[in-house]
Structure formats: structure tokens, C-alpha cells
Amino acid sequence: MKIGKNIEGSLEEINGFFENRGLRLEDYLEKPETPLKIVWLIVPAALSFVTIISLVLLAPMSAKRLTILFIIGGGFSCWLTASVQIRFKSWLATTVVAIGLLLFLLIAGGFISPKESVDLIKTLKAK
């Protein structure tokens, strides 16, 4: 049996080593992290999609309602972005989702035009 960064040996050797010294093997091993379930990605994605569609279809509305719907969409987008980070642990995926959803919300709400969003993406790529 070899003990170092990793414990190497047969199951009986390892169990015997810990039991003979009055130790519990469970205290020294880390349980693998369970991945975030897919439902935690689907629900905020669907709610973000519904909010974006609502912004497009209900376009002639008061500024107050537009702002409220935009903030709700931003909340769902943050939820989805956080879920993507927890599930995939990738800064690139998180950044793409966050920027993409923000641009979709801004375009759907009429705050920026699609041409302005293309220019914004080009400036982000240049950096």
C-alpha cells in the first residue's frame, strides 16, 4: 500500500489501515459534487424567453410597465446565468449567456436597435 497525494492499494489494505488505527475512511474522502439538475436551466430559460417575447409583443406600453417587465426579465436572466455557472463552471459560457440575454432584453424592450447591438458585439470582440 502507498500513501501520498493519493492512496494506492487494494480495498482490503486501505480498509485495514484505517480500521487498525481507529479512523473512519469517510472522514478523509470528499463526496463528489452532484451536478445541477437540468430543470434549473430550463425554468429560467423559459421564463426569460417568455419575458423577451412579452416585451416584443406588448411593445406599445407605458414606460413604467416596460421598465417592470425589463427588470423581471433581468432577474430571470441573472438566474439563468448563475445556473449556467453552477452547472458548467465555465466563465466563457457564463459570459456568453449573460451578454446574449442582456442584448436580447435591450433589443426586445426597444432600448437599442439591432444595428447598435452588432456594433457593441464588434467592440467586445476587439477587446
Summarised one tens digit per residue, pLDDT across range 68-80 is: 999 999 999 999 9
Whole-number percent of the chain with pLDDT over 90: 59
Residue located via cell numbers 424567453? 49
23 Ramachandran zone, left/alpha/beta (phi>0; psi -120 to 50): beta
**Bridge partners (DSSP) listed for residue 8:** 2
Q: What's the pTM?
A: 0.76
Q: Rounded mean pLDDT of 104-109? A: 94
Q: Which of 23-27, 42-46, 54-58, 86-90 has the lowest mean pLDDT?
A: 23-27
| Residues in contact with 26: Cβ distance below 8 Å, sequence separation at least 6, in sequence order | none
